[in-house]
Structure 1
Amino acid sequence: MSLSRVKILLTWCNENGIQIDPRIQVRESTNHQELADRTESSRNSSRGRGISVYSLEDFIDCSRSLVRIPKAAILSTRSCFLSQDIISAPYGHGAHLALALALYGEILRGQDSKWFGYLQSLPRETMDTAIFWGVKDVIDFGSCVCSSRGETIPPHSAIGDDAGNVGAACSNTEFPECAPCLQYLDSKRARMWLSCTEAEKELDGQMDEIRQYYVSVVEPTLHAAFGRLRQAEAECNANDVLGGEIPRLDECSNELNSVEPSLPGFCHAYSLVSSRAFLADAYHGLAMVPVADA
């Protein structure tokens, strides 16, 4: 994460009434930086990096409030621009799915989102959660630099004989630092440890729910919502736009993600929810709370 992204986050916090005690500092996470430096695809970008909160003093009394966050700054199914379209759930997997949709919708809006300053500081990569271990369709292989593109795999690979059927996971012999392939192969190996366990059954069931929710809820909801935004924009700019033409959903893009919904994109949002969200209060329920989730 470049310094400018941290500044954007802090500026956004200030504009939204988030008060941060001067005895702590929000800055780029050292461990994320080291991880990024080990991958070729991350050396020239901010993908894979994140932020952390550091203390500037050896001792801070436990009675001190280090961050004050207005409820209006919380991102939830109640506060997002899709609030009228999402059927929220109070708890459980349904709550995770609903909040992931709320978050994904805001990510797709890019700089038009109220939370852009916060969202642009979040990790770009899908977080390493067990539910996605060995699932190839949630990994973005767009940055894979291997010419084999998954056509070859070491004959004695630790990930099993079925590895040859993996879409874009390669042998890494040509480019040993190919991040997408390393990510997939590592998760495939990790998933093997759960083979034939109750945990594997539970994770498979949840992944099926994610796919079903994406097809039946996420895509229709996002297309309808962005369709309304295009219509409203067309009405407001009818005199300025020739023929009332507004870019279609799949013609737009922004820094954070493609505006065209995708399963990997939704899974990225889901992983952020799984690793950062918590119950804020009775009104918001499960929510993303800026700075507190760093």
Structure 2
Amino acid sequence: MKRKRTSSSTPSHSYKPFSADSISHLLDFCTENGVRIDPGLEIRYSIPEGADDGRPIAVFLREGGEDIPVDTNVVYIPKRAVLSMKSTGLEELQLPSGYEPVPFGVGAQLALALALYLEVVKGPGSRWHAYIQSLPENVVDLPVFWSTEAGDKDDLTRREDAKKACSWLRGTEVEQNNTIGLLKTIDAYYEEVVIPVFNLNVHHLSKASPSLKDFYRAYSLVSSRAFIVDAYHGLSMVPVADAFNHTTDNHVQLEASTPSSMLEILTSTENDRNADTDNDELYYTMTTTSYIPSTTTEVFNTYGAHLSNAQLMAQYGFILDVNEADWVGWDASEIVGEDEYDKVMQIWRLCTAGLLEDAHGDSEVFYMPLNSGGAPDSRRVFSVNSDGRISVQLWCLLAISWVTETQGTLVDEDVVSLVMELLKNTSSDNSSEDTQASRRSIMERAAKLCEDRLGMIGVDGVNAGAELDEVPASMWRTRIAILQVMAEQAMLRSCIEECIYIQMDDC
């Protein structure tokens, strides 16, 4: 599992999902496939004192090494070394009738998981055998598999921990990211695609029999380690790049590189960095995004600067102690009734069409979600952020809903004008009494929305903070689930307080 380890969220469990020879296998693969690592870096096991979190491999500055300047290519990976649907030849196999690999979203993860699984089955016959041997031996411990028997069936502590963690995740953004629906999708893909692929390609797979647990492992590896590298390969497993742990204050990032830039690497570094290369080949590089002083220990990548803890937990199995990218969101259908949904959303699109990302960036009331694109199918569009501020899109939706319910005789254009006028005067001290009353009503709706959500999160009638104090460190799944509940509760309560303050200020 890839993570930035922190004191409150570090898992601790007894089994080691990496083999004792993981690093040697990975370095063997690098030698065989022309993957080059800067001599100033080293890959080694990293297990914090008192914990074995199942992610012992990490990348460090070599002791006694030198500073590394910004914009330095410290790892380069030949394009032929990545494991993708294209490079494995998945699309050349006989596939079930009507099935075509999807290049994006969960479909891409499933297709890459199938490609990886087929390479696992090939054993030493796979070009990626040494790399695969360096990967975790068990299913990566992701929330989607906590309700299954993917782990050790005899590990009663794990089973109790996983069951309890699932109960705490009720109503959270993790549940939204990682619902039972996802597990059903994985299971259906296994039945409808994986098993038929094995049956249709017996001559390629040495009569191997598929296993659901083994496919779970392949999917979990893809979910927790894959990168989108370019338009051709798409989602891919990238050796060495996936050895870097995550933090938001990262040192390196994965980039595509041309042969000319690789020539610069080979001519400007010491002899032991040089190697015969195919000048016609493209490379991917791990490139420094900041100056790395020699006093640095571990070197970090980032899986996304704006990933919330819910997204990190669902996809990678960990959370950060503090994450400013956190948010709690809603689907539009949770806010607007079925009868008026189409009408309200039509007006909402008119209202938000001209909103600029920085229009309310400094507002004490609103925020503009990053990369939301204004699309109403994203929960992040209708959300509360880590500071307890509501998104301007959510405010507009609540305002439209209130206007259409209380002043139903208005035509759409008049509703848009009224809502935009209310938005414009949100922070004005010179608003009319009617405008202030309207704003109070809208903020009442926002507060009620948050209060209702508070009642849906976690375990009914149990105080999350008090429960956390009683949960042992060995039950890390439950601990991070409770921490997520506490974070979402804090955001919602902060928003409620802000709504009450605004209502009082308008009186």
TM-score (norm 1): 0.67
Letter in 1 for 2:197: T
Sort the Cα spacing of 1:224 and 1:75 in 2 relative to 1 into closer, same or farther, 3 A: same
Correspondent of 2:151 among 131, 139, 145: 139
Aligned residue in 1 for 2:160:
185
Aligned: 1:287 with 2:299:
no
Alignment correspondent of 1:27: 44
Offset from partner CA, 1:39-97 (integer Å, 9 cap, x none): xxxxxxxxx56421111147322221110001100001111143323632221110111
Cα RMSD, aligned residues only: 2.5
| Equivalence for 1:218 | 194
Whether contact under 8 Å (2:44, 2:58) holds in the other structure is yes
Shift of 1:189: 1.2
- CA 191–113 in structure 1, closer or farther in 2 if over 3 Å, else same: same
Q: Which residue of 2 aligns with 1:14?
A: 31
Aligned equivalent of 2:60, options 54, 62, 74? 54
Q: Which amino acid aligns with 1:77?
A: M
1:267 paired with 2:216, answer yes
Q: 1:117 to 1:198 in 2, by over 3 A?
A: closer
The alpha-carbon deviation at position 292 of structure 1 amounts to 0.2
**CA distance, structure 2, for counterparts of residue 111 and residue 65 of structure 1:** 31
C-alpha contact (below 8 Å) 2:84/2:237 kept by paired residues? yes
Deviation at 1:286, TM superposition (A): 0.5
Change (3 A) 1:4 1:123: closer
Task: Tell me if the contact between 1:75 and 1:288 (Cα under 8 Å) persists in the aligned partners.
Answer: yes
Write the distance in 2 (CA, Å) between the matches of 1:72 and 1:134: 37
| TM-fit CA distance, 1:7 | 2.2
Residue 161 of structure 2 aligns to a residue whose secondary structure is helix
Which residue of structure 2 aligns with residue 45 of structure 1?
Answer: none
**Equivalent residue, structure 1, for 2:83:** 75
Identity %: 43
2:140 is aligned to 127
Given the superposition, is the C-alpha separation of residues 290 and 33 from structure 1 closer, same or farther in structure 2, using an over 3 Å criterion?
farther
Deviation larger for 269-278 or 3-12: 3-12
Gaps of 5+ in 1: 37-47, 145-179, 231-246, 250-259
Structure having the higher Rg: 2
Q: What secondary structure, in the 3-state scheme, does the structure 2 residue paired with 1:191 have?
A: helix
Note the C-alpha offset of 1:121: 0.5
2:59 maps to a residue whose letter is V
Q: How many residues in Structure 1 have an aligned counterpart in Structure 2?
A: 218
Distance 1:34 1:198 in 2: 27
Tell me what 2:443 maps to.
Answer: none
AA in 2 matched with 1:78: K
Greater relative contact order (Cα < 8 A, sep 6+): 1
Change (3 A) 1:34 1:194: closer
* 1:108-127 matches, cutoff 5 A: 108-127=121-140
Q: Do the aligned partners of 1:20 and 1:66 also contact (CA within 8 Å) in 2?
A: yes
Change (3 A) 1:261 1:130: same
Residue identity matched to 2:81: A
Indicate conservation of the 8 Å contact 2:40/2:66, yes or no. Answer: no
Q: Distance in 2 between matches of 1:111 and 1:34?
A: 33
- Normalising by structure 2, what TM-score? 0.40
Q: Which runs of 5+ in 2 are unaligned?
A: 1-17, 244-507
Determine whether 1:91 maps to 2:107.
Answer: no
For the pair 1:65 / 2:82, whether they are aligned, the reply is: no
Q: Which amino acid aligns with 2:211?
A: S
Residue pairs, 1:189-200, within 5 angstroms? 189-196=164-171, 199-200=174-175
CA contact (8 A) 1:83 1:102 kept: no
Contact persistence 2:227–2:237 (CA under 8 A): yes
CA distance in 1, matches of 2:83, 2:40: 26
Residue 346 (structure 2) aligns with: none
User: In structure 2, what is the equivalent of residue 233 of structure 1?
Assistant: none
User: What one-letter code is carried by the residue in structure 2 that aligns with 1:284?
Assistant: H
Per the alignment, residue 427 of structure 2 pairs with: none
Contact 2:19/2:134 (<8 A) preserved = no
1:217-236 maps to which residues of 2 (within 5 A)? 217-225=193-201, 227-229=202-204
Aligned with 2:60: secondary structure? strand
